[in-house]
A and B are shown apart, each in its own frame.
Chain A
Amino acid sequence: MILYTIMPLELVMEGMGNQETSQERREIEIEVEGRKLVVQPQSATEGRVVRLLSTNPEDYLKGEWQPGSLIRFSPRPDNTND
């Protein structure tokens, strides 16, 4: 892997060894209405939106997909693995 970046490598690689992130910072990807959302799970069926992964600019106007809002999702097997 060659990193071509202006960021100092020691900053980029900091904490590379210990990958287990604390529970509240854990992020998973879920799919809602065909759009991928990165959420921080709050419970088995609820998460806080971190990021919307969509190319459609109109999706970003949707209130329920705004970063920080709570979203309910069904805990399907394909939603649980990140």
Chain B
Amino acid sequence: MAKTNKSEPLFHIAKRSDMTFKKAILVRVIAVVAALVLCAIITMITTGLNPFTVYGSMAKGAFGTVRKSWITVQDTSILLLIALALTPAFKMRFWNIGGEGQVLIGALATSAVMLKLADHLPNPLLIAVMLVAAVLAGGIWGVIPAIFKAKWNTNETLFTLMMNYIATQLVAFFIIVWEYPKGAGKVGIINPKTELGWLPKIGNFMGSKYMLTIFIAVLTTIAMFAYLYYSKQGYEICVVGESENTARYVGINVGKVIIRTMFISGAICGLTGFILVAGIHQTITTSLVGGQGFTAVMVSWLAKFNPFIMIFASLLIIFLKKGAGEVATSCGLNESFSEILTGIIIFFIIGCEFFIRYKIIFNKKSAKGGNK
């Protein structure tokens, strides 16, 4: 019955806890570099450019002119804001992949106020009401799945996913209600003559119209860092995420924390929607967020939920987007090229985590087990 001539497994995998911080960073850097090299090779094959030209041309796409640089920074800020919004939920192990919908609902609330109350309120008050409406709308959109999670443990990944498309259709509905001119199928620029409800420029220089967005993003980053790492609520989030039993043991109301955290998460998404409409586009479309709600999930995760590292992660993604877009357009190819490159980079970074958390032990018959 017994088979005797079985070969010993070549290697096995063990968990490690001894990797130094420096070494862990090094692994990640190697992964990014390897991914960039692979991206260059793929770009070479599809476009025929040499790798240096590729990255030169990518840099030109993102930072080629002053205006391009400002837009890159602005887009980074938006992605960063959404990633920051999702982070408290993720720290709580609540998979909020509904950022897309929460931003859209915030944008919808902003547009509604902008359209309907512009004639009734003084401009500063109008903007304040827009802001409050956006934050509340986003917050409520985030709280709905949280309530079901807290009460019945309803799967939040699937719930928030569905909420995205409900939000999209809701926006599509209102776009037709508000369409201008009739039959255009789009809202167009809101209050184009009066500029009511438009966010003001800060100062009067090249790029001053981007400043407010950037300023809000910086402020939110710092606030989120303080909130997560130094506040009581941040601590509660962390305990609930690590172990609900422990949270109950010290008297943390788990349901309350889940709902509160998702309100904050949704509210910041709503804020982002507010900026997108009032500060950047002055209109609303169903593709306003453009999948950034999903990209932000990856940004937050790549940064290991650290707000400051998220700045770099969002910059990397936006750089790829702008850069690859430039390369593709200049070669007459489609801009979606950037998404291919983004995908590849993310594959590499998430893959490399393995080498930080685990080690492979090769079984050498003669050696002493090879544990060191």
- Whether both chains belong to one complex is answered with no
